[in-house]
Amino acid sequence: MNRWFVKAVVALATAAAVAVTATPAVAEEPVWERVECLTGTLDETQVVQETYDLAQVALSGSLDCGASGKARFGFARYDSRTYNGLVYEPYMRAYAYTAPSPFSISKYVEYGPVDFALCVVTDYDVRIGCVRLTREDWDRKLYAFPIKTDDPMVDRPVRVVPWDGSERPVCGHCW
C-alpha cells in the first residue's frame, strides 16, 4: 500500500511540475530561403471593382533572376499598425529555374477605408517594386499608385508570418 501511495504522489508531483512550467506554443517565424535578387519590375497593378464594394487588386511583373531549390520571394504589406512589412507565407512564390521569374497574384482588399502599400520583396530589406492602395471612405473607389521602394511608408524590413488564421489577412483571400 505504501508503495502505491508513493508512486501516486510522485506521479502527481511530476504532473504538477510539468503544468507549472508549460508555456503556450508560439509559432516560430518560417525559414525564408533567399537568393540575391536585386532587380525586376512590377509591371502592372490592376484594381477591379467588384460587387458589394469589394475590390480585387492584381500585381504582375517579373524578377531578373532564377533559382533552383526552395528559394522564394514574396509580397509584403506595409501599414501603420505594424513596424515591419508582413509577408504571409502562403503568398510566397518560388523563383523560375532560370531568369526571368514572372509573377502574377490577385487578392481582395478589405471593405472600408484603407491606406497601405504592397511591395514585391526578395529579402528582408530588398523591395523590387511597390504600390500604395488607398480608399478614403466606405463608399469610395479604391486607388492604386506606384511609390518608390525607399518611400517612408515601406522603408523598413519585412517579417515572414506563418498563416495560422490568427493574424491578417482576416478574410482569407485579402492582402
Residue type, 138: W
Residue 26 DSSP code: -
pLDDT (tens digit per residue) in 121-171: 999 999 999 999 999 887 778 899 999 999 999 999 999 998 665 555 556
Rounded Cα gap, residues 11 and 17, in angstroms: 10
CATH code of 40-161, in short, is 2.60.40
Q: Is the four-CA dihedral 171, 173, 174, 175 of positive or negative sign?
A: positive
Rounded Cα gap, residues 49 and 54, in angstroms: 7
- Exposure string for 51-71, b = 16+ CB within 10 A, e = fewer: eeebbbbebbbbbebbbeeeb
Task: Tell me whether strands 158-161 and 85-88 are parallel, antiparallel or unpaired.
Answer: parallel
Residue 42 pairs in a beta bridge with 61
pLDDT (tens digit per residue) in 17-53: 444 444 344 456 678 999 999 999 999 999 987 666 6
Element at 64 (helix H, strand E)? none
**pTM (global) more than 0.85:** no
